[in-house]
Amino acid sequence: TQLLEQSPQFLSIQEGENLTVYCNSSSVFSSLQWYRQEPGEGPVLLVTVVTGGEVKKLKRLTFQFGDARKDSSLHITAAQPGDTGLYLCAGEGYQKVTFGTGTKLQVIP
């Protein structure tokens, strides 16, 4: 069974601070996606990483895929209240997509 553990589970920070969210597994994934979900809405795709060691930037968000394609991180620089939400990673394996446990981020103005 493929499992994706995210840490931390909850994060409450002040506006302007930096943060990193981790997504770890013992399984290898062919690709990994990051989503952000706001209350009462469906998850929205932020990025897909495919190659081991790959780094992608989306404005203040930096995503990295581990060299062995078993883990990933999401770094947010100078967090803003609009970044508040549930962040989910999802790994694509053989015929199956596994979602992480989620990280609930609150950015306080």
Question: Is 21:11 a contact under the CB 8 Å cutoff?
Answer: yes
H-type helices in 1-104, by residue range? none
Dump the DSSP string for 9-29. Answer: SEEEEETT--EEEEEE-SS--
Nearer to other proteins, 18 or 30 (CB): 30
Length of the chain: 109
CB of 41 to other proteins, least distance (A): 5
By the rule CB under 8 A, 90 interacts with other proteins: yes
Binders in 21-60 for other proteins, by CB under 8 A = 30, 33, 35, 40-45, 48
Chain residues that interact with other proteins, rule: CB under 8 A: 30, 33, 35, 40-45, 48, 88, 90, 92, 95-102
